[in-house]
C-alpha cells in the first residue's frame, strides 16, 4: 500500500490530502491499497471559491468553444479507456466487461454534450405585438455540485459534470470515498482537453463534505445519486438552503414474466439484470414476478441452473461474470438479508453465502442467491438489498403483478417479458414507474433521453442527463423588447399589455 494519501483536484491541480483520511480497499482481495483524504469544510470552501472565481469568464465562453473542449475530452476518454477501467476494477471490483460497459455509456453522455450549440439555442419570435420582439435564453446557474455513489465511479460523474459545464456552469464533484481515483483522473483529462482552471473541481470526503456543499451559499444546485434515505436528506437540506436539487434514490425493480414469454430468453435476461455488477445498481432486477405457478416453476428451474453455473471471481480472471461486493460491511449487510429471507420463510433455492474462492478468501465475494415463494410482507421484498439476491414472487394475473409494482414505495425501473403486444402496451401505459422495458431487463435510457424514477426513487422534478439536464443546469430567461420611433410622444397606458382584438 502506498503511503500517499489521495487528495483533491482544485483549480486545475492535485491538492495533497491532510487531516482525516479513510482506507481504500481492493474488494477482490480485501487488501487496503491506499488512503483517501476526507475534505474539511474549509477544503470544500476552497473548491467552491475556485469554481466561483472561474464562473464569470466561463459563462461568457461561446457554447461552440465549450463543445470543442468536449470533443477533445471524448477523444481523451477513449484513449484512456484501459487505464480508467483498470482503476474501476481495482477499487470497485466489477468485472472487466462491466467496467467497460459503464465507461462506454459515460462517453455517450459526453458525446451528447458536444451538441451544446444546438441544445442551448433559445427561441425567437418577431413582432409578437406591434414593433415588439420576444425571445428566450438558457442561462447558466453558476456554481453547481454533484454527489456520486460508489457503484458507477465513472458513469454517474459523467452524467453530471460534462452537461453542467457545457451549459456554462462551474462544478464541484464529491465522489464516493470508497472508489475515489476515477473521478480525479476524469478531472485531469478535462484539464488536458483545455478546460480552464477552476471550472471543474473534485473534493473527496464524507458527510462533512456533503453538508458543506449543501449549505454553501455559492452553490446554486446539487445533483445526487445514492440510497433513498440520503437522497431525501440531500433534497430536504439543499432545498431548505434555496438550492435547486435533483436527488436520485433507491429502487426495488420488478420484472413480470408472462405465460407467453420466451422463458429461455427471459431467464437469461433476469440472470444478467439481477447479478450483473453483483446487484449493486439501482436498475438491477431484484424481483421476478411470475404470472402463474407453471411459469414460476419453469423460471425457477432455469435460474437455478444458471446461478449455480455462474462464474464468480476477480476481474483479473477474464472468465469472471460477477465480482465482489464493494466493502466488508456491505458484504455482511447483504449476507444478513439472505439470513432474514430464510427466517421469514422464503425458499432459498440457490445459496451464495458459502462461496469460497481459493486465493481470494479475504475478498468480499458473495455468490448469486435466489429465493422462491417470496411475499410482499417480507423484508427481502420491501427493502433495497443492493446485492446479488433475486426474489421470485408468484401472481395470478398481469393485473395482480402490476398492483404489486404500483404498491411498492420505489418506482425506478421495471420490465415485462411477453409476446403479447396488447399486454405490453397496457403495462407500459399504466405502470407507475419511471423507466419501463418491454422484453428489455435494464431499460437505462441512452444519452439523448433522460434517466429517472418515480415515487421515492427520485426527489425533484427533473431527471439526469439528456434533455432534462439542460433544464436542470440552466435558467430560462425571456426577454421582450421594442424600440419606439424617435420623437414620438407616447401616452401612459394603464391596461394590461396586449394585442387588441379586431373590432
d(C-alpha 350, C-alpha 367), whole Å: 9
Tell me the pairing of strands 21-26 and 31-37: antiparallel
Other CB atoms within 10 Å distance of the CB of residue 42: 9
Check 282, 290, 369, 415 and give the catalytic one: 282
Task: Report the b/e string of 471-482 with b at 16+ CB within 10 A.
Answer: bbbbeeeeeeee
Residue 293, SS3? Answer: helix
d(C-alpha 263, C-alpha 267), whole Å: 6
Reference 101, options 88, 111, 90; nearest CA is 88
- DSSP letters of 272-292? HHHHGGGG-STT-EEEEEEES
Angle between helices 181-192 and 81-91 (to 10 degrees): 160
d(C-alpha 132, C-alpha 480), whole Å: 7
d(C-alpha 476, C-alpha 408), whole Å: 35
Phi, psi of 33, deg, nearest 5? -110, 0
Residue 308, SS3? Answer: helix
d(C-alpha 404, C-alpha 396), whole Å: 11
Cell of 33: 491499497
d(C-alpha 453, C-alpha 435), whole Å: 6
282 tagged catalytic = yes
Instruction: For residue 24, give the H/E element and its range.
Output: strand 21-26
Residue 424, SS3? Answer: helix
Cell of 133: 420582439
d(C-alpha 3, C-alpha 365), whole Å: 27
d(C-alpha 360, C-alpha 249), whole Å: 32
d(C-alpha 8, C-alpha 1), whole Å: 19
Cell of 468: 432534462
d(C-alpha 209, C-alpha 46), whole Å: 12
Task: Report the b/e string of 329-364 with b at 16+ CB within 10 A.
Answer: ebbeebbebbeebeeeebebbbebeeeebeebeebb
Cell of 30: 480485501
Angle between helices 96-113 and 155-166 (to 10 degrees): 10
Chain Cα centroid distance, residue 340: 28
For the annotated catalytic residues, the residue numbers are 282
Amino acid at each position: 500500500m502506498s503511503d500517499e494519501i489521495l487528495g483533491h483536484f482544485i483549480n486545475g491541480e492535485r491538492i495533497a490530502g491532510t487531516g482525516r483520511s479513510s482506507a481504500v480497499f481492493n474488494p477482490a482481495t480485501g487488501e487496503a491499497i491506499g488512503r483517501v483524504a476526507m475534505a474539511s469544510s474549509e477544503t470544500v470552501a476552497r473548491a467552491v471559491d475556485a469554481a466561483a472565481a472561474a464562473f464569470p469568464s466561463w459563462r461568457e465562453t461561446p457554447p461552440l468553444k465549450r463543445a470543442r473542449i468536449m470533443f477533445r475530452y471524448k477523444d481523451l476518454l477513449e484513449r484512456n479507456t484501459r487505464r480508467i477501467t483498470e482503476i474501476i476494477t481495482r477499487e470497485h471490483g466489477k468485472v472487466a466487461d462491466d467496467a467497460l460497459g459503464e465507461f462506454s455509456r459515460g462517453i455517450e453522455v459526453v458525446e451528447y454534450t458536444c451538441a451544446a450549440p444546438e441544445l442551448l439555442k433559445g427561441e425567437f419570435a418577431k413582432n409578437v405585438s406591434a414593433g415588439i420582439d420576444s425571445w428566450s435564453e438558457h442561462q447558466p446557474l453558476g456554481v453547481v455540485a454533484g454527489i456520486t455513489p460508489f457503484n458507477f465511479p465513472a458513469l454517474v460523474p459523467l452524467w453530471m459534470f460534462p452537461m453542467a459545464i457545457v451549459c456554462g456552469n462551474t462544478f464541484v464533484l464529491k465522489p464516493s470515498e470508497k472508489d475515489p481515483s476515477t473521478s480525479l483522473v476524469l478531472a485531469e483529462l478535462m484539464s488536458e482537453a483545455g478546460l480552464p482552471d477552476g471550472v471543474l473541481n473534485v473534493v473527496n470526503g464524507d458527510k462533512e463534505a456533503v453538508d458543506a456543499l449543501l449549505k454553501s451559499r455559492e452553490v446554486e444546485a446539487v445533483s445526487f445519486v445514492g440510497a433513498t434515505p440520503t437522497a431525501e436528506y440531500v433534497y430536504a437540506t439543499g432545498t431548505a438552503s434555496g438550492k435547486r436539487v435533483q436527488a436520485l434514490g433507491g429502487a426495488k425493480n420488478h420484472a413480470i414474466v408472462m405465460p407467453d414469454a420466451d422463458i429461455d430468453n427471459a431467464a437469461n435476461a433476469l440472470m444478467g439484470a439481477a447479478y450483473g455488477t453483483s446487484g449493486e445498481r439501482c436498475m438491477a432486477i431484484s424481483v421476478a414476478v411470475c404470472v402463474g405457478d407453471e411459469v414460476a416453476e419453469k423460471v425457477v428451474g432455469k435460474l437455478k441452473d444458471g446461478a449455480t453455473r455462474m462464474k464468480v471471481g476477480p476481474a483479473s480472471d477474464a472468465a469472471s461474470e460477477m465480482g465482489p461486493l464493494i466493502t466488508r460491511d456491505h458484504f455482511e449487510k447483504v449476507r444478513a438479508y439472505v439470513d432474514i429471507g430464510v427466517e421469514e420463510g422464503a425458499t432459498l433455492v440457490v445459496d451464495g453465502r458459502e462461496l469460497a474462492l481459493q486465493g481470494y478468501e479475504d475478498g468480499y465475494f458473495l455468490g448469486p442467491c435466489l429465493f422462491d415463494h417470496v411475499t410482499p410482507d417480507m423484508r427481502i421484498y420491501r427493502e433495497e438489498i443492493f446485492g446479488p439476491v433475486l426474489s421470485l414472487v408468484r401472481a395470478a394475473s398481469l393485473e395482480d403483478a402490476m398492483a404489486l409494482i404500483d404498491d411498492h414505495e420505489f418506482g425506478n425501473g421495471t420490465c415485462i417479458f411477453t409476446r403479447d403486444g396488447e399486454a405490453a402496451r397496457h403495462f407500459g401505459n399504466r405502470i407507475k414507474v419511471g423507466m419501463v422495458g418491454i422484453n428489455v431487463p435494464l431499460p437505462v435510457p441512452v444519452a439523448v433521453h433522460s434517466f429517472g424514477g418515480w415515487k421515492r426513487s427520485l426527489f425533484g422534478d427533473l431527471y439526469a442527463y439528456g434533455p432534462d439536464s439542460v433544464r436542470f443546469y440552466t435558467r430560462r430567461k425571456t426577454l421582450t423588447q421594442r424600440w419606439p420611433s424617435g420623437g414620438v410622444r407616447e401616452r401612459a397606458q394603464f391596461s394590461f399589455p396586449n394585442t387588441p382584438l379586431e373590432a
